[in-house]
Chain A
Amino acid sequence: MRRTLRAWLYRLAGLFGSARRDRELAEEIESHLQLHVDDKVRAGMTPEEARRQAIVEFGAVESIKESYRDRRGVPMIDTLMRDVSWAWRVLLRDPGFALVAVLTLALGIAATTAVFSIVDAVLLRPLPYPEADRLVAVGTADAQNPGRARPLSTGIFTALRERATALERIVAYQQDRATLLGGGEPRLVAVGRVTDGFFELFGGTPLLGRTLIAADHSEDAERLVVLSHALWQSAWGGDPAIVGKRVTLSDAPHTVVGVLAPQFRHPEAAGGSPNGGAVDLWAPLRLDAAQHLQYIGLGRLAEDATVASAQAQVDAIVFDAVAPLLAGMPETFPTRGAVTPLQAKTIGDIGDTLAVFLGAAGLLLLIACANVAYLLLARGVHRGQELVLRTALGAHRSRVARQLFVESLLLALMGGAAGTALTYVVVGVFQVADPGTIPRFTEVVVNGRILSFALALAGITGVVFGLAPMLQLSHNNPALALREGAPGFSDGQSARRLRSLLVVAQTALALVLLVGAGLLVNSFAALARADAGFDPSGLALVEVRLPVSFAERAQGGPFFDELLERTRATVDADAVALTTTPPYTSSFRWALVPEGWEQTRNTAEQPFIRGNAVSSNYFSVMGIPLLAGRPFDEDDRPGAPVVALVNEAFVRAYWPGEDPLGKRIIAGFSLFSADSLAVIGVVGGVRAEPGAEADPEIYMLAAQQPRRTMTLVARTRGDAASLIPAMREAIWALDPDLPIRRATTMEAVASELIAGPRFYALLSTSFAGAALVLALVGIYGTAAHAANRRRREISIRSALGAEAAAIVRMVVRDGVVLAVIGVLIGAFLSRWLAGFLAGLLFGVSEGDVATLFGCAALFVATSCVASLIPALRAARTDPVAALRADR
């Protein structure tokens, strides 16, 4: 056994340095012969005779050399290596072809691998936490919407922590924005408030200092914070002496107790929107005594628990906890739990969208393969003589087929290598163009698994398009091919049909991608254009929150009045207004009962209506139309009857078909300055986000309903962003310590909200563009081939006086015919496949005929152009010269 192993190792080694060993063997054989000749000569023969006999007695030298070589190396690998070096030389002979083929493949492989890297990071890889498969999000739900998870209250959370044995650990989480002083300039940071056990749950290890321990969460413990690595770098420049430093967070002194390692990724399911701003630091959460539903629950299942068993247990505990509070609560009050695996919750339903794009990338890869197969077949025309000769000289057809296959594989591997390099570039572009709407997008990376995927793709594509030349091989008649003047090795009917099939397939698939891109682009355009209900251009927003010392809300009113005056005076804006909730911002909701609501409805479903407190000129500044009644005027002020404006969505929802003016709305159990309001007017609805409908909304005068948090809105005809510094100055002139919570322009906000559709539109357009180019190459090739094949016919025709235009038409038709067939097939395919896009579209249906028509027309037009080039060339060749040169 050992000996055999030793022998095999020597044989593997024998694969290298074959030239040297061949030489050695030749020397040894020569030496053998010499010795033999010497003996014979001594016995009396002549040297020549001796040599001849020695050679005879040695045996067939070549055959012996071959046996020796077979034993020396590993024959299968030897042949393979020979095939590879042969294939390499063949490719080098035609570098143009090789380059085009490799680039085409690289394009297809890079696209598919890049999208796969997203799919892998978002859907396939487990979350980057210890025992990620047992992590769950815990919330409440009401009986009518069991799927929609809502937050926990203090009571529910503590009950779960004590009694839910199916959960090995549960923490409560709340996110907040606060001003941080002590790290350079004052900055607004995202604070993650957590209960004990958060860092253990998510594997947060400290780089410096420590994370929070149980003792830090008690009422009288010193206030500590743990910094994120990013914040430590940007605010303190990575100062190693950070631990123990004092900072001020929302006006309270805190001490830095540690810095987290840079690899830590805050769980997105706890952060609101995906990638919705990384959390900058963590602090202990002091559970509120109130019973609002405000905490996100995160936990880990116990060893022997399942999601189902945990759900059952949580249901029971939640019900017990809320039972005493149920009296008088609406039916939408949660009475049960919602336990969701954290990965599922993080991913949401982005999986469908990603699958669509993976499919699109796959189509592009197929088109690329078809292209390369086509190129290989086309090239077969020129190699015909060579291959046939080899067959005639005794090479087995299987050997020739195998060599063609190796050529294809080599091409595929080169394409794979180039595609892998291109993948890095594409993924880099993705990371820069991150739309912010895809969860876990920051985890996208090119790692070993992705590279193996690319390699596998290369192998598969090599097999797929490698079949083409082999198919061609089986159709050929050597005798015909060797005859001079015959059409050539592979230009027979069946070969042409194969090529035409490829072009038609390419065209159909390319049209599908084109239509998909067209739909997504139209959808995005519709989204961007959609009437928002107000005029978003030239608006600057700056949000401030008055500190608790203004808690006497009466003080808040005068402050904002003064701010308004000051801003009007100092900021170069056309108009200035105040609002609590600018458009595209989530707002608090007021519990209100519109007049007549209780009588007309059976269920005591309490309406929670989007509320807004604004300055009197708000609607004119925002460009929101007044549809009925009157706007706020000077008679409306503190002390006067409290009035409100509602939007048309409100009227449609609660008073359909009735005249809303003069109706009253009764305040629910929220903090209102009056028991009821009178409706004085109706305004147009403002969309909650681009593409969504307007929610019912109620507007009150800020003077009559003052709030602590207001956004200063300024409109200008020029660049809105330029107003922001002046607005900030105006605020700080009144109170220099006031933190600015948000300063942006309306256009930036809107743009961010449609970043997702924009990303999809761009991505699909890139795929479609690449597909179009590849398909056009196929069309061009067909026309060029047709022109070439019909060279004699064309020459004769033009010698006989045919017009150039007629010849051009003839060639173009050859190319365009295939394009039209492909377009028709593609049209059917895209009608069928467009259904997958339905969820992504806005304002345009997936069966939109205009888009289909437009793409088809575009394709046919570009095919005409692509066919035109060889057509013009054919028309221009001198017929006499062509006829003479043609054999």
Chain B
Amino acid sequence: MGGKQDVWQGTLALMVLKTLEAMGPLHGYGIARRIEQTSGDVLSINYGTLYPALLKLEQEGYIASEWGRSDNNRKAKFYSLTRAGRKHLARQTQDWEQATETLARFLALGEASS
């Protein structure tokens, strides 16, 4: 249980939230497929690892779940973004963007002086 795991879980959570924001309510399988597609198939995750992450998000109150029916009429549990989730996503996105911007400046600095 190191920091690496937490970072991974953090990023996964963010990807889930973003997916739900973009796609609206979606079931677990759908979220997994979407993440895979969006990452350009760079990330290949075991789909099952998503579920503990979904549970955590639900416990924290960022997403809500409800049993429903999929397109081809399969019973599935759908997750949707809550208002708190939306705010959290916005904050986290801002943090990430700031972090990458600062880093970019550092890297650019090195290049300029070399």
Contacts and interface: CB of A to CB of B under 8 A. Distances in A.
Q: Do A and B come from one complex?
A: yes
A35 B29 contact: yes
A732 interface: no
Interface string A18-44: 000000010111011011101100000
A6 interface: yes
B74 A38 contact: yes
B16 to A, nearest CB: 14
A58 B48 contact: yes
A3 B27 contact: no
B34 interface: no
A11 B59 contact: yes
Given A6-B59, A35-B70, A29 B77 contact: no
B51 A35 contact: no
Nearest to B33: A39
A43 to B, nearest CB: 12
A604 interface: no
B83 interface: no
Interface in B53-88: 55-56, 58-62, 70, 72, 74-77
Contacts of A3: 60-62
User: Which 7 A-B pairs have CB atoms at the shortest separation, nearest pair first?
Assistant: A59-B46, A59-B48, A64-B48, A7-B59, A10-B59, A35-B29, A3-B60
Chain A contact patch, size range: 20 to 34
B30 interface: yes
B67 to A, nearest CB: 9
A57 B75 contact: no
A27 B75 CA distance: 9
A67 B52 contact: yes
A64 B32 CA distance: 15
A64 B47 CA distance: 10
Nearest to A72: B55
A71 interface: yes
B49 interface: yes
A64 B77 contact: no
22 contacts: A7-B59, A11-B59, A25-B51, A27-B75, A29-B51, A31-B27, A31-B29, A31-B75, A31-B77, A32-B32, A35-B27, A35-B30, A35-B70, A35-B74, A36-B47, A38-B72, A57-B47, A58-B46, A59-B47, A64-B51, A71-B52, A71-B55
Nearest to A4: B60
Contacts of A11: 59
Contacts of B77: 27-28, 31
A8 to B, nearest CB: 8
A61 interface: yes
A68 interface: yes
A6 B52 contact: no
A60 interface: yes
A85 B93 CA distance: 46
Interface string B12-29: 000000000000000111
Interface string A57-89: 111110010011011100000000000000000
Contacts of B74: 31, 34-35, 38
A4 B88 CA distance: 13
B75 A32 contact: no
